[in-house]
């Protein structure tokens, strides 16, 4: 919306030969609406606390550790169950495929959804993609050698 100086509005209304009482009412209404707009602008909801979730790509069901694996890092709200991350990604991909761009170039895999999906659509599903390209997974036994 364009921002206009109130004095300019007042001059235009005077040129239109509008009564001075009506001009005062209009200016007062504009001031009141401006204050209301500023107040509503300041009321933002607090940011959502998020947790990281790693989505591991295992297309052949071989999760044994002897092969290389890749995956994607996403964030979901802290209160949500991590198991729902994949469902949220699927819903976001479904919404993307219903959009104009998605109808032209639909996503069919998790990799395509993470790389080409719209962040705006995923945000509506409360999932944030942190790695658009797959990340290599390195297995560990979670121990540091002491000797």
pLDDT reading at 1 higher than 60: no
pTM for this prediction: 0.65
d(CA 123, CA 88): 10
Predicted pLDDT at 105: 93
Sorted by where each begins, the domain ranges of the chain are 6-42, 50-137
Neighbouring C-alpha atoms within 13 Å toward the C-beta of 39:
6
Take residue 28 and report the two structure tokens written for it: 């007062």
With cut-offs at 50, 70 and 90, classify the pLDDT of residue 67: confident
Backbone phi, psi, residue 135, to 5°: -110, 140
| Average pLDDT of the chain to the nearest whole number | 87
Radius of gyration (C-alpha) of the chain in whole angstroms: 27
With cut-offs at 50, 70 and 90, classify the pLDDT of residue 50: very high
């Amino acid at each position: 919306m364009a921002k206009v100086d109130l004095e300019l509005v007042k001059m235009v209304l005077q040129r239109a030969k509008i009564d001075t009482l009506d001009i005062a009412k209009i200016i007062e209404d504009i001031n009141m609406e401006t204050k209301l707009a500023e107040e509503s602008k300041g009321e933002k909801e607090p940011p959502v606390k998020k947790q990281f979730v790693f989505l591991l790509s295992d297309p052949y069901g071989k999760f044994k550790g002897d092969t290389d694996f890749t995956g994607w890092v996403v964030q979901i709200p802290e209160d949500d169950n991590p198991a729902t991350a994949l469902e949220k990604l699927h819903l976001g991909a479904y919404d993307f495929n219903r959009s104009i761009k998605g109808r032209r170039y639909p996503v069919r895999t998790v990799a395509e959804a993470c790389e080409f999906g719209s962040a705006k659509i995923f945000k509506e599903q409360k999932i944030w993609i942190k790695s658009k390209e797959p990340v290599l997974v390195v297995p560990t036994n979670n121990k540091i050698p002491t000797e």
